[in-house]
Amino acid sequence: MLQSFKMRHEKSIADLAEDVNLSRSTAYRIAERLRDLGFLEVNPRNGLWRLGGEVVQLGVAALQTTDVMEIAPPILHELSEQTRESVNLAVFDSDRMVLVYREQGPQSVTISSRLGSHRPMHASSLGKAYLSAMEASEMSALLSRLTLDAYTPKTITELSALEQDIATIQARGYAIDDSEFEVTLACCAATVSDHRGMPVASISASGPVERVAGRTAEIGEMVRKAAQQISERLGFNRAPRQGR
């Protein structure tokens, strides 16, 4: 009965009886019980039945207990097969990104991506992708705290240049690290958002710069789509604009 409200948000008892193939009297008794439990309510303006607050609370509880680590692995495995490179999942912690999951691709090489290791916000695709999805006020506050240390000759160390790169990421939908953290590596990353549209993680595909640098548009789109898949599984039901 509750599922029948997916198609139309308000219904009469006759509608409900027809939807679930029950008599009106039986449908009414079930609806009354569901109203007692808070799962249904009656709109006082038109007398039609609609979903109650308990349904909303259950939905929120389900979304909050859906962990990205339960959802992401099969999608990341597919991404590693598509890109044929190493794939990482990182979460934000203490003004940096922390690697919490890694998937080795068919032709990936061993790189210094031990689980639990950190990536700087300004010098990694994981960090820049996450920055691009933060609320403007939170991003500004974080940028004011960061020290833009140079890890390679290509690391962005000027705030204005970093802000310009973030704007590009927001327009494009994924971040690129072209030898900015490690000279020999290139990476593409995108943000994973939860049911509120807030960033909860970043995923990336990375490999030797000579193999990845010329494929950033192709790999970046693959990463963006994988991040969107995970976000949708977390309840993010708006198609992310380019740059989320």
**199-225 per-position pLDDT tens digit:** 999 999 999 999 998 999 999 999 999
Question: Which one has a higher pLDDT value, 22 or 67?
Answer: 22
For position 115, which CATH number holds?
A: 3.30.450.40
**88-122 per-position pLDDT tens digit:** 999 998 788 988 889 887 776 655 567 778 899 99
Same domain, 151 and 199: yes
Residues 6+ apart with CB under 8 A from 22: 16, 30
The answer to whether residue 162 is domain-embedded is yes
Q: Is the dihedral of CA 142, 148, 149, 154 positive or negative?
A: positive
Q: Vertex 174, ends 65 and 211: CA angle to 5°?
A: 115
Question: Which one has a higher pLDDT value, 29 or 196?
Answer: 29
Looking at 43, 63, 83, the residue that finishes a domain is 63
Same domain, 23 and 140: no
Total-model pTM: 0.70
The rounded mean pLDDT for the chain is 89
Residues 6+ apart with CB under 8 A from 234: 63, 66, 68, 71, 192, 193, 194, 195, 200
Q: Which domain holds residue 42?
A: 2-63
Same domain, 153 and 188: yes
Query: Are 124 and 182 spatial neighbours (Cβ–Cβ below 8 Å)?
Result: no
The answer to whether residue 241 is domain-embedded is no
State the pLDDT at residue 244.
40
The mean per-residue pLDDT over the stretch 3-12 comes to 85
Question: Which one has a higher pLDDT value, 54 or 58?
Answer: 54
What letter represents residue 83's amino acid?
A: T
> Residue 230 pLDDT more than 70?
yes
The mean per-residue pLDDT over the stretch 154-180 comes to 97
The answer to whether residue 88 is domain-embedded is yes
Dist. CA 204–CA 133, nearest whole Å: 15
H helices present in the chain, as ranges:
13-20, 24-36, 53-65, 68-83, 125-133, 136-145, 159-172, 209-212, 216-233
Query: Are 40 and 52 spatial neighbours (Cβ–Cβ below 8 Å)?
Result: yes
The total of structural domains in the chain comes to: 2
Band of the pLDDT at 241, cuts 50, 70, 90? very low
**113-161 per-position pLDDT tens digit:** 677 788 999 999 999 999 999 999 999 999 999 999 999 999 999 999 9
